[in-house]
Amino acid sequence: DPKIIQKPKYLVAVTGSEKILICEQYLGHNAMYWYRQSAKKPLEFMFSYSYQKLMDNQTASSRFQPQSSKKNHLDLQITALKPDDSATYFCASSQDWGEENTLYFGAGTRLSVL
Amino acid sequence: AQKVTQTQTSISVVEKTTVTMDCVYETRDSSYFLFWYKQTASGEIVFLIRQDSYKKENATVGHYSLNFQKPKSSIGLIITATQIEDSAVYFCAMRERNNNNAPRFGAGTKLSVKP
C-alpha cells in the first residue's frame, strides 16, 4: 500500500479556476515537501514544512498556497490557474527536517490546465 | 544559493556494462549532503544513495556507488553490471547543512540500458 497518498492522480482544469492537490503521508514523518516537474524545469522545489511550520519556500507566486491541517497532511491550493501550471506535482516527506534525511515521494498529481 | 547541474541529458549503454553519470554542484556551505534518486518510467521516484560531504570514503549501495571529488564539487553515480530495469531518469540532489533549505535537484539524466 502506498505510504504517501496524493489525490487526485490526474486533474484537468480550465484557465482561471482553482484546484487543491491533496497529500497525506503515513510514514510517521515530520517534514513534508512539494515539488513540481515539467519539461521546462524538472523537479523544481516549491515548499517544505516541518511540524506544520513553513521551513523553505521557493515559489514566487502567491497563487500557490500550501495548507497543513495535520502533521501528516500538506495540501497545495492553486488559484487562478494558467496553462503554464500544467505539470506533475509531487509530494514528498522525510523523517525529520535534518539535512541527511532522504525524501520519500508520492506518485504525483498530473495537472493539465486548458 | 545551492545549485546542482547534470549536463548529460541521456546516456545509452549495453546491459552488464558500467555507466557513470555526472553531477556538479555549487554551494558556499562547508558541510552538505548529496543524493541520487531514480525516476522510473511509471513516474515513481525513489532514493538510491547518499554521500555526506565530510566523509572521504565513497558511498556504495548494491551495484550503485559514488565518485565524490570534493575539490571539483563533483558527485558521479556509477552503476556496475547494468540491467535493463536500470533504465530510468537519475537525479542528483544536494542539501546544505547550515542553510535551512530543502533539497534541490539537477535536471536529470535519462539512462537507457539495452540488451
Between CA A86 and CA A39 the distance in angstroms is 10
Residue B98 is predicted with a pLDDT of 83
SS3 readout for A61-109: CCCEEEECCCCCECEEEECCCCHHHCEEEEEEEECCCCCCCCCEECCCE
Given a cut of 90, whether residue A41 has pLDDT beyond it is no
Interface of A to B at Cβ within 8 Å reads 33, 35, 42-45, 48, 55-56, 58, 88, 90, 92, 99-100, 102-105, 107-108
In this predicted model, what pLDDT tens digit does every residue of B64-100 receive, in sequence order?
A: 999 999 999 999 999 999 999 999 999 999 999 888 7
Closest by CA to B86, choosing from B17, B34, B40, B50, is: B40
Cα–Cα distances (Å) from B99 to A56, B31, B36, B72, in that order, read: 10, 10, 20, 21
Contact B102 A48 (CB under 8 A): yes
Contact A105 B103 (CB under 8 A): no
Task: Quote the cell numbers at residue A90.
Answer: 509531487
Which residues does chain B have within 8 Å of residue A54's beta carbon, measured at their own beta carbons?
A: none
- d(C-alpha B15, C-alpha B85), whole Å: 10
What's the pLDDT at A11? 97
The answer to whether residue B1 scores a pLDDT higher than 80 is: no
Q: What is the pLDDT of residues A52-92, one digit of tens each?
A: 899 989 887 999 999 998 889 999 999 999 999 999 999 99
Indicate whether A99 pLDDT > 80. Answer: no
d(CA B85, CA B106): 22
pLDDT at A28: 94
Inform me whether the C-beta atom of residue B46 falls under 8 Å from chain A C-beta atoms.
Answer: yes
